[in-house]
Amino acid sequence: MMNKSVFALMSTVVALSAVIAGCGGGNQAAPANTQTADNSAAPAKSDVPQVLRINIHQEPSTVDPGIAEDNVSGGITRATFDGLTRLDKDAKPMNSIAQDVKVSEDGLTYTFTLRDSKWSNGDPLTAHDFEFAWKRALNPKTASNYAYQLYYVKNGQKFHTGKGTADEVGVKALDDKTLEVKLENPTPYFLELTAFYTYYPVNKKVVEANPDWAKEAATHVGNGPFKMTSWEHKSKIVLEKNENYWDKDNVKLEKIEMAMIEDENTELSMFENGELDWAGQPLSQLPTDAIPALKDAGTLVIHPKATMYWYKFNTEKAPFNNAKIRKAFAYAVNRQAIVDNITQAGQVPAMGMLPQTMAVKPEGYFKDNDVETAKKLLEEGMKELGITELPPITLSYNTVERHKKIAEAVQDQWKKALGVDVKLANKEMKVHLEDLHQGNYQIGRMGWNADFNDPINYMEMYRDKDGGNNDTRWENARYKELIIQSAKETDPEKRKALFAEAEQIFMDEMPVIPIFNDVDVWAQSDKVKGVQVDGLGFVDFKWAEMQ
């Protein structure tokens, strides 16, 4: 969920957020009778119980910000932690735990002055907690798949790859209230990165005393607007207002109850019966069959976002160690049929690796449903491998009804176009993610929510074969060189040209199958106000209330 940095392509963070605020599924307007996502909180005081009831579909893979990587874990972490900065409704960073930020003239040194704040257990939060958290995420022993998000920090990559020490990393607590950060290169979007959960602090004392601190509500300690008070595994999580939060006066909700109901139809029924206040994304799913009726009734919210839905190849396992066979499978997918008949909410077929908000070649790199080219490529690829028939092939996805229907459609398309029998395997999200990271798959479903609206957020993921989220294990020396150059290039047009060359290499070798540019869809009670879902698909409950 999701996949992440913002770039020199935009000269200022303000300019960037203007781009993000307008992101979405191309120029398509929301369908008639369909709500747009405007959740601005009204100022009037409410006598309604301040309890929000939602569904998160299944057990989160983690609630540790240093390890979180999917949308459910990210949503819970964003509610229970706070960073130096926090994103507003337009995905523009604003000061949060940092009350002041000073940037050196060369853009390489950031000095954060922290406000007085506490952890949910009452401990004072200090700059040392930030320094500890960032170095912990970079420590190879932590196994953070998002550690590369901290490569912008001086010597962060060297420490993570075993070529440097923690002491060399460019983050240092000068005292309890002052954090100094030195960067590898000027990074105009750095204050957006500090709002991302990999950059959140953790309580040094708590983490060092108990490595399993984030596995139970009783030992979980955060610094966000809410604290975790109950975690019935695979059943329910309860968050309550954190009385120690620095900005508690602006937190209206007293409680968030998060059910873990896997069946989307049951979730929708509970919403319609008044047992849930919100059904669907960003933290769960609506049944695809219900979307047309919800759209017609005017109760469906469609929220564009910078997100891609794709399938990853394991490029180290035959037959997908052959680029022509990978391209054959990619070209044989009928994306238009999927968005017309299954997702049905304005998703746009994708023929490149980047979402529309940051595309360098919007027209894409190949034709949708190009069966003839796919057949030719499959035949050529099999000859290159010296095989006359393909080995058994399995497509894996995490247990969600929408993913199942899309996988079944693609399975049928591959059978009709290529004559290939593909087995489907569904797993709970935590197991699915682990299998992807361990290489225990052939083709695997995954989406990528942009962490910031810049091509590098997608492209850096595939820079290194052993990068945290590069489950494809694909690497290309020229591609890597281009991505490294882009980090140092300040001219927007030259930088765009580097991205264009890099994306062409990526699409020529096709380590992933782009399927569509996604949107979030949900239904919410009229009582719910102020839930913030930005153009990146991030959900923030800090300003939510019931009216």
pLDDT at residue 42, as a whole number: 43
Q: Are 41 and 541 in contact (CB under 8 A)?
A: no
**Cross-strand partners of 153:** 183
pLDDT tens digit at each of 547 positions of the chain: 444 333 333 333 323 332 223 332 232 223 323 343 444 444 445 589 999 999 998 899 999 999 998 889 999 999 999 999 999 988 899 999 999 999 999 999 999 999 999 999 999 999 999 999 999 999 999 999 999 999 999 999 999 999 999 999 999 999 999 999 999 999 988 999 999 999 999 999 999 999 999 999 999 999 999 999 999 999 999 999 999 999 999 999 999 999 999 999 999 999 999 999 999 999 999 999 999 999 999 889 999 888 899 999 999 999 999 999 999 999 999 999 999 999 999 999 999 999 988 899 999 999 999 999 999 999 999 999 999 999 999 999 999 999 999 999 999 999 999 999 999 999 998 899 999 999 999 999 998 888 877 899 899 999 999 877 899 999 999 999 999 999 888 888 999 999 999 999 999 999 999 999 999 999 999 999 999 998 888 899 999 999 9
Q: Cα 27 to the chain's mean position, in Å?
A: 23
> Do 75 and 533 contact (CB within 8 A), yes or no?
no
Question: What's the rounded Cα separation, in Å, for the pair 293 and 201?
Answer: 44
Q: Cα separation of 247 and 117, whole Å?
A: 9
CATH number assigned to the domain covering 303-519: 3.10.105.10
- Three-point CA angle 364, 365, 366, nearest 5°: 105
Task: State the Cα angle at 161 between 158 and 164, rounded to 5°.
Answer: 40
What are the DSSP E strand ranges found in 359-489? 393-398, 422-427, 443-449
**DSSP type of residue 240:** E
**Separate counts of helices (H) and strands (E) for the chain:** 16, 21
Strands 178-182 and 171-175: antiparallel
Q: At what angle do helices 371-385 and 323-331 cross, to 10 degrees?
A: 160
pTM: 0.79
